[in-house]
A and B are shown apart, each in its own frame.
Chain A
Amino acid sequence: MTFSFIAFMDMLLFVVTLAFIIYVLINYKKYTDRSVCNILLVLSFLFLFNSTSNFLEWSGITGKLDRYEDFIDVTIPIVWGGLIYLLVKSILMRRIKKSEENFRSIFNNTFVGIVAFNPDGEIFNVNRRFAEMTGYTSAELCKLNHINITHPEYKNLCISRKALLLDGQIDSYSIQKKYIRKNGSVFWGDILVTPIKDENGKVESLVGIINDVTEHINMGSYLNTNDRMEILGQLAGGVAHDYNNKLTTIMLNADLLLNSISPESEARQYIDSIIKSSITMKEITNKLLAFAKKGDFKRTDINIADTALDVADILTKEIGKQINTQVIIDTKRTTVKGDPSQIFSAIYNIAINAKDAIKGNGKITFTLDESMPKGVEGEETYLRLIIHDDGEGIESDIRERIFDPFFTTKEKTSSTGMGLAAVYGIVKKHNGYIYYDSEPRKGTSFYLFLPYK
């Protein structure tokens, strides 16, 4: 009874194992991990041999296969161990792969740029965002030194901070600096650099996390200027109004005095001088009033394209062929509501500044298109006039003050410093916006936004 039962069990084992082998072979390609699949096949073949040997022995057919049984008996648990080892290894590898995929996904999809470089500054890994910021591909960046994409103004700062970090005097450093894109343009980045150390505490590499703050910086200076201009405008407006009244009295009385004395009188030249000075002062006061958004204001249709063409024409006549002017009109709607003389004055003042910024030969471009000012939301549409010159640019230390009344970098005798202040007031009075973008020795662009309504 026992004999037949055992033989039956072995026969069943043979059938199950055979089915197992066939199943594994059929589904061989469906297994992700082939090494596990192979070891399962080995195990099942060993089972098959064992069941065959036992069946033949217990059914009394032959005991010849019994001589291999010792080997099979020892091999089966080893293969079991191998199977468990491979499964654990496979799980660990999948986890590592998954973790790496997650890390790679975070690394590439974060909104900050990440760059890894060795202590010499040679880049060896960057994320997608940093490549987008710089305009280079990841492969191109990995051939560059971190200093190559740093603006020359900040190279020494970076080198000194990195030296302190490598020396162990600081744990990390954070600076705001300018980067140079592949196309030569510049962007501002806040960078935090931290070291990656080996087990001995030696710095192996450095990781920089960069946030593009160009827009914030431009916007920030623009908002600060806006607030300051409002206060200055109120002050200037109050002073200019009273000043204008007194100046009118002086000019009227000087005129009366001039008419009351004989034409041969010596005093006439002094009175003429008073009148001339008063006229100059009147012009300054009018600009001050314009800056303060006060004074006379007409509201008619102004064709900005025509105004830009007129200004370009006057400029060409004034300066000859030394400076080229170009007007690009990239919009069908070129008319806004406002005071034509004030708008002309604003555009002309910017153009004069552009001309003065060019030393030698150069070019001034007027570009007219439609665009929304930065940070402005709503349905209102704006006409944008960009006045670009390829002159000396504006130095960073004076950028915040260029719209201030009486601020000038020119000779005091040739400029009152009211030009851009008046432009600012005129644009504001027309519910418009003005800001600028400048690179020393590369040029300046002024952006005038005027609403259509």
Chain B
Amino acid sequence: MFQESELIALFISLCVIILGVIYNKHLKSVPHYKMLILAFMLYSLSLISTVAEGFLLFAMFNAIEHISYLLSALMLFIWCSMLITSERVNK
């Protein structure tokens, strides 16, 4: 079974995706925005997997959830370091 908090998190995540689509034009101006979007997509995938694991293929979705969570943090870390580098270059 799934928890309510997981569904709420997924809903908020969808709202953030919609926000990203609306401000797509401005978001593209963020340095290395693709890396940031990838990080968020991986995070969203982990949320989807969390909900999905309550219905079917628990082991697989659980593994996907944790892997995508890890990759999401990793991507965010990489994006953050790239942001610092690009700011240093700009200065």
Chain A residues close to B by CB (< 8 Å): 2, 5-6, 9-10, 12-13, 16-17, 19-20, 23-24, 27, 30-32, 40, 43-44, 47, 50-51, 54, 69-71, 73-74, 76-78, 80-81, 84-85, 87-88, 91-92, 95
Contacts and interface: CB of A to CB of B under 8 A. Distances in A.
Given A16-B74, A84-B27, 10 more contacts: A9-B69, A13-B69, A30-B87, A30-B88, A51-B73, A73-B8, A73-B9, A76-B43, A84-B20, A91-B29
A73 B77 contact: no
B66 A10 contact: yes
> 9 closest Cβ contacts across the A-B interface?
A70-B5, A77-B12, A9-B66, A81-B16, A77-B13, A20-B77, A73-B5, A13-B70, A91-B29
B66 A88 contact: no
Nearest to A87: B30
B70 A80 contact: no
Contacts of B38: none
B69 to A, nearest CB: 6
B29 A80 contact: no
A9 B23 CA distance: 33
Chain A facing B: main interface SS? helix
Contacts of A95: 29
17 contacts: A19-B77, A20-B73, A20-B80, A31-B83, A43-B76, A44-B73, A44-B76, A47-B73, A70-B5, A73-B6, A73-B8, A77-B15, A77-B43, A88-B27, A91-B29, A92-B26, A95-B29
Given A5-B63, A69-B5, A77-B12, A30 B19 contact: no
Interface string B58-91: 0100110011011001101100110110011000
A2 B59 contact: yes
Interface of B: 3-6, 8-10, 12-13, 15-16, 19-20, 23, 26-27, 29-30, 36, 40, 43, 47, 59, 62-63, 66-67, 69-70, 73-74, 76-77, 80-81, 83-84, 87-88
A81 B15 contact: yes
B5 A74 contact: yes
B26 A32 contact: no
B77 A6 contact: no
In terms of DSSP, what is the predominant structure of the interface of chain B? helix
Given A70-B3, A80-B40, A17 B73 contact: yes
B12 A74 contact: yes
A16 B5 contact: no
B13 A80 contact: yes
B84 A31 contact: yes
Contacts of B70: 9, 12-13, 16
A202 B70 CA distance: 59
Contacts of A17: 73
Contacts of A43: 76
B60 to A, nearest CB: 9
A32 B84 CA distance: 9
Contact of A23 (B6, B13, B81): B81
Contacts of B84: 27, 30-31
B87 to A, nearest CB: 6
B80 A24 contact: yes
A2 B53 CA distance: 14
Nearest to A90: B30
Q: Quick one: which of B8, B20, B30, B80 has the most chain A CB within 10 A?
A: B80
